[in-house]
Homo-oligomer: A and B are copies of this chain.
Amino acid sequence: MFPKATLERLKLYHRLLSEESKEYVSSEEIGEKLNIPPEQVRKDLSYLEYKGKPKVGYHVKSLLEELNRLFGIDKKVKVIIIGAGNLGSALANYPGFANYNIEIVGIFDKDQEKIGKKVGDLVILSLDFLERVIKRFNVEIGVICVPKESAQEVADLLVKNGIKAIWNFAPTFIKVPNEVIVRNEDISLGLLTLKHMLEVKSSQAKEA
């Protein structure tokens, strides 16, 4: 296992390398583009099996291949979204997923007004079809984009139908059995970090 912070940075390296056209890159080049010290870049990449060549740098293709395996990008994963509001629709239309071999195979809502309408290429389905879609496409991940009042109910439904991992965007904590992986994504927290950084900066300015 990698330290969590390293894993987060490996994802950034992956994204950067995916857009790289050169054959080799150095830790200095990676570091400069991402605003990460080159020593940190080297340390993070030292966790991988592939090693760079001194004075030549890292072979982009080899590094990408290992990162692809690490994140399971070489395998396709099927995902469904519950809740076809703005957030669910934004995720369904998000162009970045294809790069990571992530396929959104269905979007669901309980609102009769929405059912049958399209989001991108997907038709919004009633929750009655949830079980069938999960089984038919072998869906592993469910994304919860419903109001917090309904989040637990939706989580229970996903678990009952064999979903292995839940990405929860509802601003509440959900309970699931131990074997199910949950990632809680509270959108406000990103803004909170920025707010904290502004605070730190302004108090530094006052001290200086």
* Residue positions of A touching B, CB distance < 8 A: 1, 4-5, 7-8, 11-12, 15-16, 33-34, 70-73, 75, 77, 79, 85-87, 89-91, 93-97, 99-100, 102, 140-141, 143, 164-165, 167, 171, 173, 181, 183-201
Contacts and interface: CB of A to CB of B under 8 A. Distances in A.
B96 A187 contact: yes
Contacts of A99: 188
- Cβ-closest 7 pairs across A and B: A86-B90, A87-B90, A72-B199, A96-B188, A96-B171, A86-B89, A72-B195
Interface centre among A89, A91, A192 (most CB of B within 10 A): A192
A72 B198 contact: yes
Contact of A186 (B5, B15, B191, B200): B15
A91 B187 contact: yes
Given A5-B4, A34-B173, A90-B87, A190 B185 contact: yes
B77 A198 contact: yes
Given A72-B198, A85-B90, A173-B16, A193 B187 contact: no
B192 A100 contact: yes
Contact of A199 (B7, B33, B71, B189): B71
Contacts of A184: 12
Given A15-B186, A167-B190, A185-B190, A195 B100 contact: yes
Contacts of A34: 173
Nearest to A171: B96
A200 B1 contact: yes
Given A86-B93, A97-B191, A197 B181 contact: yes
